[in-house]
Structures are given as C-alpha cells and as structure tokens.
Amino acid sequence: MRSNLMMTAAAGAILATGMTTAVVADGHATDLTLCWAAWDPANSLIELSKDFEEQSGHTMNFEFVPWTSFADRMLNELNSRGQLCDLMIGDSQWIGGGAENGHYVKLNDFFDANGISMDDFLPATVTGYAEWPKNTPNYYALPAYADVVGWTYRKDWFERPELQAEFMDTFGRVLDVPASLAELKDIAEFFQGRDIDGTMVYGAAIYTERGSEGITMGVTNALYNYGFQYQNPDQPYDIEGFVNSAGAVEGLQFYKDLYDVGTPPGSSNWYMGENIDAYRSGQVAMQMNFAFIWPGVEADENVGGGNSGYFANPPGPAGQFAQLGGQGISVVAYSEKQDAALEYIQWFAQPEVQQRWWDLGGASALRAVVEQPDFATSQPYAQTFLDSMAIVKDFWAEPAYADLLIPMQERMHNFVIAGEGTAQEALDGLVRDWIEVFEDEGKI
C-alpha cells in the first residue's frame, strides 16, 4: 500500500529484527514466526508481542506482506505446506480452505483444556473468523482482529454554516451523517467538484480496485442493503434469483451511480491505501474504508483532532449491513513449533492482553473488552465500531473462495467502472460463473 498509515514489509522486517531474545531457564526458548498483512495494526501487534516474549522466553519474528500480494503469498505458502509461518493471521475467507485442506490446526481440544470459550467473543467474529463449517462448533482460529467497512467524513466541512445553508436549500434537510445510502449519494454529489478553501474536492472515495478483492469489498456494502443474498437460506448453493434478484440489480446500479457522480477523477482502481491518501490529503468529503484506519485518522494532524467523524454503512431498502473484514489467528499445521504457537494463542486470548491490544490501536473481538460500559466513549470511533460489527456479512468462505472472487471482481469492475452492459447482465453472468465453480467442486 502507498499510504503512510500502513507498514511496508521492509519496515516490518526492520522492527522485527530489532527485538531482543529472552531465554527461559530450561533453555527451551523458541523462535516463532507470525505471518500477517503489512499494515498499521501489524505494528501494534509487534509492540503487544513484546510482553509475550518477556513472559514466555520465546522470540517473535514477523513476516508481513502488503495486502495487494498477501493472499497470493500466504496461500501459496500454505498450499506448498511450507514451514515459514508458525502462526497465521489469515483472512476471514480463508477459514474454509484452511480447515478442509488441513492447513490449520483444529483448536477445539486446546480451547477446552485452557478455558477459552468462543462465547466470550463477538458472535460475528466467531462465525466469520473461526468456524468451519459455518455455524458449527468447529474452530480453526481465535478471533484476532475485528474489522468492518465503515465511513469516515470531514466533520469540519459538514459543519460549515454556508454549506449547511446550501444543502438545506437543495435537499431540505440538515447536512449530517446520512440516514440511508440514497442520502449518502446526495452528499457525495453535493461535494463533487466543490471548492473548499481554494481546492477542488470530491464527494467520496470508494473501493474500485480490480486486482485483488477491492471492488468486491466495496460493492457488497450496497448489494447487501438492496437485497442481494449469496444463496437461498433454505438450500445451500442455490443462487439463481438470490445473487441476481431485482434488489441486487438495484444495489449494483446504485454503486455505479455513486461512482459516476461522486468520486474523484482517476479513482478507477482504488482500495484501502488510495482511499486513505485521498482523505488525508483533503481530496474527498467521505471515504469508505475498513475500520482499521480510524486510529490513524484520529492521529493525523490534518484530519484528526475532531475534524473527522465516523458512521456505519447506511441502510438501504432491504436493511442495514456492512462488509466484514478482519481475521482470526491460527496455528499452521506444518509448523514444527506448534506447542509454542499454542502458548501464543493462550496468551493472546487473555482479557488484559486484549484490552492492551485495543489500547495500542488493535481491534479486539473479546466481549469483556468491547462490552465494557466505557468502551463506546474510549475513542471517537468506538461507538461506530460497535454499530458496524453488529451488522456484518461476509463473502464466501468456501475452500474455492478465490475461484468465486475472481469472476466477481471482473464482472463488478467491468460494469461499475468500465460501464460494460447492464447491472442485470453483470449479476446474471456472475450466477453462471459461480454455478460452474460449485459444479466443479461437487457442491451442486
């Protein structure tokens, strides 16, 4: 990523090699390697893990890979049964493949033996990051980093009296946090091409990236709220009429319309880093992004310190949902240091460690942390985090998730960005693509 908020892999390596090695009395100190994405929370995890090193005598090393190549790099590592990683903070969509392909150690017995209960974590994160099959008590990860798509906005711009007056004259309501996706589009269009302090600004930075998962992680925030469903709730892998329902078509058209009327020129291939850069540099009034960016926004000298506000993804005609992000931490089945890796899991699950994780800028999924009476006021974005985590949905976590993701990326980008065909044609084509994947998998 190009954002200054995100760590590069090189920076991660420098920080990791700067750690000192503690040796336990019996001489059995172990070097563990934890693999994750190269982003700002990884920096916080390095700091947090110093406590584990001191307490355990083990040494933590870190392999951090930029998000744009994280999946390719780490899935190749798992598929080749490599021993680089002892611990893996893998993306939520990997849990099916990690379980069925034997990449991750099943943790049920370990949890039971050490008093770790999944009831102690936010239910959405257990389902999203730990379970396979979904909604069964089979656990292959501990919820590690709770994340979700939400919105950041220039509160200082919204509060300007002259803009408040103009917006009221135009729309007949106060310029404020949007109560619906339709209102969000109105606000984006209102700011589009507007002069703010001598600079031309634009409405919103949204996810449009094609190469990895970007546009999928963006468009779903509209699709869900207009009625898109991955499958028939009563018949798994029955997708005709659910993926391409009338509501889903309307939601896809909404996302294209938002892109057409309210986004910066040249934003046809943007994801997390580009959206952060656009927002911090004062180009946009709002940005779609995962919640992990919020601590950095607050700390930014230009947009932090009360200049920014936060809101959950607004509802649409079919309800209010937001795309789940985040990851669970797993023990890699090919590691020769599984006992020490399990020690790290046990340590990380402790309430006091989870509290420090939040304090350092991580995102705990432990209910003892996020359900404290003062949690909602602990940070300016904490209430929005809670509101957002209560409405999450996730992309397929099937072992073949990558084969499901590729055609969605292609068809969404071709329609939303390139303007090819219609929303109905894009979703009808996606249905055909996904049916073919599931047929190849023997699921239908």
Looking at the structure, do residues 191 and 126 belong to the same domain, yes or no? no
Looking at the structure, do residues 201 and 311 belong to the same domain, yes or no? yes
Using alpha carbons, select from 40, 25, 41, 47 the residue that is nearest to residue 329: 41
| CATH number of the domain where residue 203 is located | 3.40.190.10
Can you give the residue range of the structural domain that contains 184? 149-323
Query: Does residue 432 lie within any of the structural domains?
Result: no
Instruction: Say which residues have a Cβ less than 8 Å from residue 323's Cβ, sequence separation at least 6.
Output: 148, 149, 217, 218, 220, 221, 224, 313, 392, 393, 394, 395
Query: Does residue 24 lie within any of the structural domains?
Result: no
Rounded distance, CA 388 to CA 313, Å?
A: 7
Looking at the structure, do residues 253 and 308 belong to the same domain, yes or no? yes
Looking at the structure, do residues 177 and 305 belong to the same domain, yes or no? yes
Q: So what's the pLDDT on residue 68?
A: 83
Mode of pairing for the β-strands spanning 194-196 and 149-154? unpaired
Q: So what's the pLDDT on residue 14?
A: 31
Write down the pTM of the prediction.
0.91
Looking at the structure, do residues 266 and 306 belong to the same domain, yes or no? yes
Rounded distance, CA 358 to CA 330, Å?
A: 20
pLDDT tens by residue, 38-58: 999 999 999 999 999 999 999
Q: So what's the pLDDT on residue 5?
A: 34
Number of domains in the chain: 2
Query: Does residue 428 lie within any of the structural domains?
Result: no
Q: CB neighbours (10 Å) of residue 76?
A: 10
Q: So what's the pLDDT on residue 46?
A: 98
- Contact predicate 8/69, CB 8 Å: no
Query: Does residue 198 lie within any of the structural domains?
Result: yes
Looking at the structure, do residues 96 and 230 belong to the same domain, yes or no? no
Report helix angle 214-226 to 401-416, nearest 10: 80
Q: So what's the pLDDT on residue 28?
A: 67
Query: Does residue 217 lie within any of the structural domains?
Result: yes
Looking at the structure, do residues 168 and 313 belong to the same domain, yes or no? yes
Last residue of a domain, one of 306, 323, 340: 323
Query: Does residue 377 lie within any of the structural domains?
Result: yes
Query: Does residue 436 lie within any of the structural domains?
Result: no
Q: So what's the pLDDT on residue 16?
A: 36
Looking at the structure, do residues 131 and 158 belong to the same domain, yes or no? no
Q: So what's the pLDDT on residue 183?
A: 98
Last residue of a domain, one of 323, 351, 382: 323
Query: Does residue 412 lie within any of the structural domains?
Result: no
Last residue of a domain, one of 373, 393, 413: 393
Q: So what's the pLDDT on residue 10?
A: 34
Query: What share of the chain in percent tops pLDDT 70?
Result: 94
Q: CB neighbours (10 Å) of residue 386?
A: 15
CA distances from 97 to 94, 101, 237, 429 (A): 5, 6, 17, 25
Looking at the structure, do residues 300 and 166 belong to the same domain, yes or no? yes
Looking at the structure, do residues 44 and 144 belong to the same domain, yes or no? yes
Looking at the structure, do residues 264 and 162 belong to the same domain, yes or no? yes
Structure-block tokens of residue 38: 């190269």
The tens place of each residue's pLDDT in the chain, 444 residues long, gives 333 333 333 333 333 333 333 334 344 689 999 999 999 999 999 999 999 999 999 999 999 999 889 999 999 999 999 999 999 999 999 999 999 999 999 999 999 999 999 999 999 999 999 999 999 999 999 999 999 999 999 999 999 999 999 999 999 999 999 999 999 999 999 999 999 999 999 999 999 999 999 999 999 999 999 999 999 999 999 999 999 999 999 999 999 999 999 999 999 999 999 999 999 999 999 999 999 999 999 999 999 999 999 999 999 999 999 999 999 999 999 999 999 999 999 999 999 999 999 999 999 999 999 999 999 999 999 999 999 999 999 999 999 999 999 999 999 999 999 999 999 999 999 999 999 999 999 999
Looking at the structure, do residues 44 and 140 belong to the same domain, yes or no? yes
